[in-house]
Amino acid sequence: MTARALNKIRVLELTTAVAGPVAGCVLADMGAEVIKIESPRGRSLKSPGAPPPIEGAPDHAYNRTAFFNELHRGKKLLSLDLKQEEGKDIFLRLVENADVVMENFSPKIVGQLGIDYTELKKIKNDIICVSMPAFGKSGPYESRASYGPGIDAMSGLSHLTGFPDGHPGKPAQFYCDQNAGLTAALTVMGAIRYRNRTGHGQYIELAMLEGEMQLIAPALMDVIMNERSPNRTGNKHERFAPQGVYRCKGDNEWVAITVRTDLEWQSLAELIGKPEVGKDRRFLDLNGRQTYHDDIDKLLGAWTSTITSQEAETTLQGAGIPAGALLNLNEAFSHPQFQHRNTLVHVEHPEMGTFPHTRTAWKSKNENEGVAGPAPTFGNANNYVLNELLNFSADEQQELKDRKIVSDAPLG
Amino acid sequence: MTEQTNDTKETAILEGIRVADLTTGSFNYAGRLLAGLGADVIKLEPTEGDPLRHWGPFRDDKKNIETGGRHLHLDAGKRSIGIDLDSADGQAVAKSIILNCDVVLESFDPGYLDTVGLSFESLASSRPDLIMVSMSHFGQSGPYKNYHGSEIVDVAIGGYLRLTGEPDREPVKPYDDLVIQHTALHGATATVVGIMHRDNTGEGDWFDVAAIDAALFLIGGPTQSYFFNGKVAQRNGNRLLFTEPQYLYPSTIRPCLNGYVHAHGNNRNQDLLAVLMPNIGLEPLFDTPMGNADKIDDIMDSWLSTRDKFEVVKLAQELRLPFTEVLTPEEILRDPHLEERNFLVNLEHPMEPNLLQPGHAALMSETPWINRRAPLIGENTDEILEGLLGIKEEERTELRNKGVIQ
């Protein structure tokens, strides 16, 4: 294996929900040892939709949920009760041997646990601590609770997603979580490098709302510059027309098309067998095509409805026009370009068998492994941490388990 | 230029890293992030300016290539030099600048840089520890590398577009260049990966970042679900994409008296929703919340229809129900939280002196986040050519007269 960017870096991850776990995945993929610390009582034993175990594996449904496995690939899992004094002591001893601590608890809980940056810095002077609060560690919304879609709502993204005559919308699953997770990975790696050069650790605060609002600048500026109230614009584009999603032959089949220039519009008119439309003075320039966008949509839809989405894509791409069939997830997974890029990396999970994970959006000559490994089974790093890192005796380990400070199975 | 760092921290995280930024459009976000972390980001743009400068919004809708909103945001913190890459002289100057940089970011059509003598191989033969980050719609190789992309086409092929919108209507794209900007975030992250790798080994690297990968990455959990149970996720309006009947509900957007609220159950105590909206028949629906989503919507709507969104969120949050307001851009600009955190900043651009724009993407206790206004076209050409390459005024004038630099 080639050398990895985060070789010999140890990260302690105290996170829930999505953003923190995504950050941990990226750091693990880049070679860090990421130890996720989870409360013995934090996980539901119910796992709707879990697949069966592979032959010979124990039937632990809690180890087989899609959500957990996607979000914790490549990590180790220590099940530790931080609310008990001995649990907290174990955590602090781990901090002495760690480079980074990531958490996304509410500010109140961090205070109660006594594990904020000021405290951890006393244990290890150059520790790097990362908090990923929804709204930040100051301001009137500091203590508000929210998950990803709720932050999408407050950032303006929901208001701006959808059709002008419809409701505000949600892009796919969430946006701000993955965005915050990557931004955290970026900043943490920078902070590690800074520490390597200066000997100084630091505290990084990454408010998910503020990371997400990096996308909303154009709408905010339009309010300030033009006293306009930016609204949803459906599939239309400010600088390209026509652009849209058009129904194709078959059930629930669609193609997305963007016409970027007047010349592309001429080609398109030829392709759909309506050269006279290409010469129609109303449609010659962008302004005209935006004015008559709905008429053009009808013309285009009439053509796409007679062919499959793949035929539409191939025909238009052949003429240099951006077009893409709307792929279902299963179609995307078997798509030749994703296959070529190894975007999905297969790894073997001890209780579920082999499943693919989506790696980050880059591949490279050196950092090409893509995914560090499968998600951990519950408590799979308990012995590693207690034996190898902290040298507890067998008796001491048993006592910790008896007192449910460390647990090899969730306590519900 | 005005440095808007309201603290005394001096050395930035990426201080000493120099980046040649040849990207265009929303891919420019990568360089903006690296500039925010303190890298010296040199924007090598065409002599007539990066096409990004033609993107709005513009004040009073009057186009001005120095004051387009997206340029002011995505180019903040960079320096600019205008170079004609179609000329041999321009290519030579660009190559000299790049070889004085640690990192080069680019988003040309795959293969273009070969045609102007700036391929990774040719650059790396002169500077083996160079880090190049190439961002594109489909990637640098493979059967679709020459496909023509756009935000909506990338999200179509990336499986993302089918997952957005109402089930009874055509899929709808996410706002603006969401996925391309996210691709640029991956590009910025890859850059630091490359720097860390170089620190450890002395080796350079070439990163191939693709928007279709970023689209798939954003989908997250439903990807795994498919491989677990063969169920292909479908767009589900504002509801989550996991549709097992016992799954948590609500997580959705519903209308109220003066707009919309994001309504969300407490996943440890579903009954709390019935505390917020008491005695209107919610409790019996909680055994299979997602299975009863339509009924829960109807009941919530009747309760919400007479209520103010800010009041609803206040009441809900007091109960630890994670409700939030669906805010409009106007409301965001008046938002007391962002104001108290000094998030929106005026970078005092000479031609757009009264504009607010997003500031920090992260706050750090030891190192600053750099907010500095976007450069005018070629604003830093002289200082870069003189300071970096030692090209004297006479030669610069000649290059200018030939139209090689701006």
Q: Within a domain: residue B53? A: yes
d(CA B137, CA B180) in angstroms, rounded, equals: 8
Longest dimension (CA), chain B: 83
d(CA A129, CA A95) in angstroms, rounded, equals: 10
The reply to whether B114 and B38 lie within a common domain is: yes
- Which CATH number covers residue B44? 3.40.50.10540
Backbone angles phi, psi at A244, to 5 degrees: -175, 180
Give the helix/strand (H/E) hosting A366: none
- End-of-domain residue from the set A298, A332, A366: A332
Q: Within a domain: residue A337? A: no
Distance of CA A239 to the CA centre of its chain: 29
The reply to whether A257 and A311 lie within a common domain is: yes
The reply to whether B277 and B374 lie within a common domain is: no
The reply to whether A22 and A47 lie within a common domain is: yes
Which of B34, B157, B309, B343 to probe by mutation at the A interface, max A CB count within 10 Å? B157
Q: Within a domain: residue B8? A: no
| pLDDT at residue number A141 | 95
The reply to whether B268 and B343 lie within a common domain is: no
B268 at interface of A, judged by CB pairs closer than 8 A: no
B291 at interface of A, judged by CB pairs closer than 8 A: no
The reply to whether A196 and A273 lie within a common domain is: no
- End-of-domain residue from the set A314, A332, A350: A332
Q: Within a domain: residue A234? A: no
Task: Tell me which chain A residues have a C-beta less than 8 angstroms from the C-beta of B287.
Answer: none
The reply to whether A326 and A347 lie within a common domain is: no
The reply to whether A68 and A104 lie within a common domain is: yes
- End-of-domain residue from the set A303, A332, A361: A332
Residue of A nearest to B261 (CA): A153
Nearest to B171 by CA among A23, A169, A109, A100: A169
3-state helix, strand, coil in chain A (%, to 5): 40, 15, 45
Chain B nearest-CA distance from A98, in A, is 18
| pLDDT at residue number A11 | 98
pLDDT, tens only, A340-381? 999 999 999 999 999 899 999 999 987 666 889 999 999 999
The reply to whether A322 and A347 lie within a common domain is: no
The reply to whether A210 and A139 lie within a common domain is: yes
| pLDDT at residue number A347 | 92
The reply to whether B77 and B194 lie within a common domain is: yes
Q: Within a domain: residue B305? A: yes
Contact between B336 and A140 using a beta-carbon 8 Å cutoff: yes
Let me know: does B183 contact B211? Beta carbons within 8 Å: yes
Q: Within a domain: residue B122? A: yes
- End-of-domain residue from the set B328, B352, B374: B328
Give the closest of A149, A201, A360 to B217, CB-based. A360
| pLDDT at residue number B242 | 83
Q: Within a domain: residue B114? A: yes
The reply to whether A128 and A196 lie within a common domain is: yes
Task: Tell me which chain B residues have a C-beta less than 8 angstroms from the C-beta of A356.
Answer: 223, 227
The reply to whether B397 and B375 lie within a common domain is: yes
Which residues does chain B have with pLDDT short of 70?
A: 1-8
Contact between A358 and B200 using a beta-carbon 8 Å cutoff: no
Distance of CA A299 to the CA centre of its chain: 38
pLDDT, tens only, B112-167? 999 999 999 999 999 999 999 999 999 999 999 999 999 999 999 999 999 999 99
d(CA B103, CA B133) in angstroms, rounded, equals: 8
Nearest to B107 by CA among B174, B43, B192, B171: B43
Q: Within a domain: residue A221? A: no
The reply to whether B272 and B373 lie within a common domain is: no
Task: Tell me which chain A residues have a C-beta less than 8 angstroms from the C-beta of B333.
Answer: 220, 223-224
Our count of domains for chain A comes to 2
d(CA A82, CA B120) in angstroms, rounded, equals: 49
The reply to whether B32 and B176 lie within a common domain is: yes
CB atoms within 10 A of CB B53: 23
Query: What tokens does B80 get?
Result: 């600019």
Residue A249, SS3 per DSSP? coil
Q: Within a domain: residue A82? A: yes
| pLDDT at residue number A368 | 64
Give B60's contacts (C-beta < 8 A, 6+ positions apart). Answer: A225, A226
- Which CATH number covers residue B303? 3.30.1540.10
Give the closest of B13, B206, B363 to A205, CB-based. B363
Q: Within a domain: residue B269? A: yes
Nearest to A337 by CA among B192, B329, B324, B140: B140
Q: Within a domain: residue B2? A: no
Contact between B160 and A172 using a beta-carbon 8 Å cutoff: yes
How many helices, marked H, and strands, marked E, lie in chain A? 19, 12
The reply to whether B157 and B258 lie within a common domain is: no
- End-of-domain residue from the set B328, B350, B378: B328
3-state secondary structure chain B: CCCCCCCCCCCCCCCCCEEEEECCHHHHHHHHHHHHCCCEEEEEECCCCCHHHHCCCCHHHCCCCCCCHHHHHHCCCCEEEEECCCCHHHHHHHHHHHHCCCEEEECCCCCHHHHCCCCHHHHHHHCCCCEEEEEECCCCCCCCCCCCCCHHHHHHHCCCHHHCCCCCCCCCCCCCCHHHHHHHHHHHHHHHHHHHHHHHHCCCEEEEEEHHHHHHHHHCHHHHHHHHHCCCCCCCCCCCCCCCCCCCCCEEEEEECCEEEEEECCCCCCCHHHHHCCCCCCHHHCCCCHHHHHHHHHHHHHHHCCCCHHHHHHHHHHCCCCCEECCCHHHHHCCHHHHHCCCEECCCECCECCCCEECCCCEECCCCCCCCCCCCCCCCHHHHHHHHHCCCHHHHHHHHHCCCEC
Our count of domains for chain B comes to 2
- Which CATH number covers residue A273? 3.30.1540.10
Contact between B357 and A220 using a beta-carbon 8 Å cutoff: yes
Residue A248, SS3 per DSSP? coil
The reply to whether B136 and B196 lie within a common domain is: yes
Domain containing B318: what range?
251-328
Domain containing A253: what range?
243-332
- End-of-domain residue from the set B328, B355, B388: B328
Count of all residues that appear for chain A in the document: 412
Task: Tell me which chain B residues have a C-beta less than 8 angstroms from the C-beta of A290.
Answer: none
The reply to whether B156 and B287 lie within a common domain is: no
The reply to whether A54 and A97 lie within a common domain is: yes
In the DSSP assignment, the letter for residue A82 is T
pLDDT of chain A, 412 residues: tens digit per residue: 455 899 999 999 999 889 999 999 999 999 999 999 999 997 877 676 778 899 999 999 899 888 888 899 999 999 999 999 999 999 999 999 999 999 987 777 777 888 899 999 999 999 999 999 999 999 999 999 999 999 999 999 999 999 999 999 999 888 999 999 999 999 999 999 999 999 999 999 999 999 999 999 999 999 999 999 999 999 999 999 999 999 999 999 999 999 999 999 999 999 999 999 999 999 999 999 999 999 999 999 999 999 999 999 999 999 999 999 999 999 999 999 999 999 999 999 999 999 899 999 999 987 666 889 999 999 999 999 999 999 999 999 999 999 999 999 999 7
The reply to whether B275 and B387 lie within a common domain is: no
Axis crossing angle, helix B211-219 with helix B178-201, rounded to the nearest 10: 100
The reply to whether A317 and A208 lie within a common domain is: no
The reply to whether A57 and A203 lie within a common domain is: yes
The reply to whether A348 and A325 lie within a common domain is: no
- Which CATH number covers residue A17? 3.40.50.10540
Give A131's contacts (C-beta < 8 A, 6+ positions apart). Answer: A103, A104, A110, A137, A203, A204, A205, A206
The reply to whether B118 and B169 lie within a common domain is: yes
Query: What tokens does B35 get?
Result: 């500039």
| pLDDT at residue number B2 | 39
- Provide the residue type at B388 as one letter: L
Give B128's contacts (C-beta < 8 A, 6+ positions apart). Answer: B203, B204
Buried b / exposed e along A49-65 (16+ C-beta atoms within 10 A): bbbebeeebeebbbbbb
Phi-psi region of A370 (alpha: psi -120 to 50; beta: other; left: phi over 0): left
Which of B175, B205, B364 to probe by mutation at the A interface, max A CB count within 10 Å? B175
Q: Within a domain: residue B6? A: no
B251 at interface of A, judged by CB pairs closer than 8 A: yes
Let me know: does B169 contact A166? Beta carbons within 8 Å: yes
